């Protein structure tokens, strides 16, 4: 067997829960060891998009908000969902404008990631946004956002000291730091 072949066998799959954002499936499986088992799979109805905006002075913009599932406040890069079948770059542009009011003249995709591949099929895309112009924020009704402009070096320190824990944000900020030799 080739190492890239799927060693799992799905016997049954049933939707256990579904809403506008995700589907949770309960699956009966045969494990790679050949034993019976179960698996819960969370499938998202959006791709995740994250943006690291960088201004001409080397600053970035973080968005702060209370995250209900964690029951805590979170500082993050601007991010959101891109409905399956839509262009992830267009969704990233929309999220940057909604959450920060910024419009970028230059965009660079830096990563495609899986946010938690042991339980979900969520796929994320990360972008650097540069050549920024300021405008007005337009957050969604479920968002109570605070905007903070910080030097990129400070954002890196926030990741390293555990103040930023969101997976898209951690990955994006550290990738940008590496790409920009910070």
Residues 6+ apart with CB under 8 A from 5: none
Q: What is the pLDDT of residues 9-48, one digit of tens each?
A: 999 999 999 999 999 999 999 999 999 999 999 999 999 9
Predicted confidence at residue 57, as pLDDT, reads 96
> What is the DSSP annotation of the chain?
--TTS---EEEEEEEEEE-SSEEEEEEEEE-TTS-EEEEEEEEESEEEEEEEEB-TTSEEEEEEEEETTTTEEEEE-SEEEEETTS-HHHHHHHHHHHHH--EEEEEEEEEEEES-TTTB--EEEEEEEEEEE-------TT---EEEEEEHHHHHHHHHTTS---HHHHHHHHHHHHHTT-
Mean pLDDT score of the chain: 94
The whole-angstrom separation of Cα 78 and Cα 63 is 6
Say what percent of the chain tops pLDDT 70: 96
CATH for the 46-179 domain, from 3.40.190.290, 3.10.590.10, 3.90.79.10, 3.40.50.300: 3.90.79.10
The helix-helix angle for 167-179 and 152-160 (nearest 10°) equals: 130
Partnered with residue 46 across adjacent β-strands are 83
Give yes or no for a contact between 125 and 92, defined as CB atoms under 8 angstroms apart: yes
- The pLDDT, as a whole number, for residue 3 is 78
CA 173 – CA 51 distance, rounded (Å): 9
Q: What is the pTM of this model?
A: 0.90
pLDDT, one tens digit per residue, over 41-91 is 999 999 999 999 999 999 999 999 999 889 999 999 999 999 989 999 999
Average pLDDT of span 126-151: 86
Q: Which two tokens stand for residue 122?
A: 């969520």
Domain ranges for the chain: 9-44, 46-179
Beta-ladder partners of 77: none
Q: In whole angstroms, what is the distance from residue 120 CA to residue 117 CA?
A: 5
Residue 141 binned pLDDT confidence (cut-offs 50, 70, 90): low
């Amino acid at each position: 067997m080739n190492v890239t072949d799927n060693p799992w066998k799905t016997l049954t799959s049933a939707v256990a829960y579904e809403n506008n954002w995700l589907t949770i499936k309960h699956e009966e499986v045969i494990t790679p060891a050949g034993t019976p088992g179960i698996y819960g799979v969370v499938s998202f109805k959006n791709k995740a998009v994250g943006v690291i905006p960088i201004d001409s002075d080397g600053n970035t913009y973080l968005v702060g908000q209370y995250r209900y599932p964690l029951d805590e406040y979170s500082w993050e890069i601007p991010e959101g969902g891109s409905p399956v079948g839509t262009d992830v770059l267009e969704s990233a542009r929309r999220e940057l404008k909604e959450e920060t009011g910024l419009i970028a003249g230059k965009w660079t995709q830096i990563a495609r990631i899986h946010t938690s591949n042991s339980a979900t099929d969520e796929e994320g895309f990360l972008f650097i946004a540069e050549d920024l112009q300021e405008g007005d924020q337009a957050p969604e009704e479920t968002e109570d956002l605070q905007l903070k402009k910080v030097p990129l070096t400070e954002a890196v320190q926030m990741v390293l000291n555990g103040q930023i824990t969101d997976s898209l944000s951690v990955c994006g900020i550290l990738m940008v730091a590496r790409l920009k030799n910070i």
